[in-house]
Homo-oligomer: A and B are copies of this chain.
């Protein structure tokens, strides 16, 4: 499986993704699921992917090829005038790839893939989308400020509880680390290393990007510190009366 989160805060956008892919528990590999396109000073686009690896790689490759040789085939992801148009472009590529993979008479489910697309293009606001295998998409907003794909359930409660639009980047990373650690502890098909990126509103360049390896000291600090902090939090709750 996979776990990816895109999260919108007042200061910008934060993305985190795991790197495990599997075809059965006896066949696992490491593949990055975060792709970044950057034209410094003009646009930053981040794409996270979950689902069939052949589909997600084909989608990214097709977008990549078109962005590198824009003369060849329009439109390029580096030329779209808005984030909405960018999401449509990605959605169209997904439909094209899945349609191409699906043999006659077979459903598209096996080739399915979902994407989170976020970023900012000069002259527009930062935006964050979840794009479905059907190519349509939804956008995050104040009511739903984070979007998840893949194994979303284990890591959701902590996001629901602790998200605040005023979070700093460092606090948001903590929040995502805890959400990922909860997922990693429960689902073998989500695995380290983790990729992190944050984008600061109106900066039009990648703010910070880091890969947390399995032996990363900070990840271990968070994982162990969170267990301790949770036990203290429990102790602070009242006992059941009666």
Contacts and interface: CB of A to CB of B under 8 A. Distances in A.
Counting chain A residues whose Cβ lies within 8 A of the other chain, the interface size class is 35 or more
A233 to B, nearest CB: 4
Contacts of A238: 218, 221-222, 225
A239 B221 CA distance: 10
Nearest to A182: B157
A186 B171 contact: no
Q: In the assembly, how many copies of this chain are there?
A: 2
A242 B229 CA distance: 23
A170 B233 contact: no
Given A154-B154, A157-B157, A234 B185 contact: no
A240 B186 contact: no
Nearest to A241: B218
A161 B236 contact: no
A73 interface: no
Nearest to A169: B240
A108 interface: no
B185 A239 contact: no
Task: Say whether chain A's binding surface is mostly helix, strand, loop, or mixed.
Answer: helix
A237 interface: yes
A58 B78 CA distance: 61
A153 interface: yes
A227 interface: yes
Interface in A183-242: 183, 185-186, 196, 208, 210, 218, 221-222, 225-227, 229-234, 236-242
B160 A185 contact: yes
Contacts of A178: 234, 237
Interface of A: 153-158, 160-162, 170-171, 173-175, 177-178, 182-183, 185-186, 196, 208, 210, 218, 221-222, 225-227, 229-234, 236-242
15 contacts: A154-B156, A156-B186, A157-B183, A157-B186, A158-B230, A161-B185, A161-B226, A170-B239, A173-B240, A175-B234, A196-B240, A208-B242, A221-B237, A221-B238, A229-B236
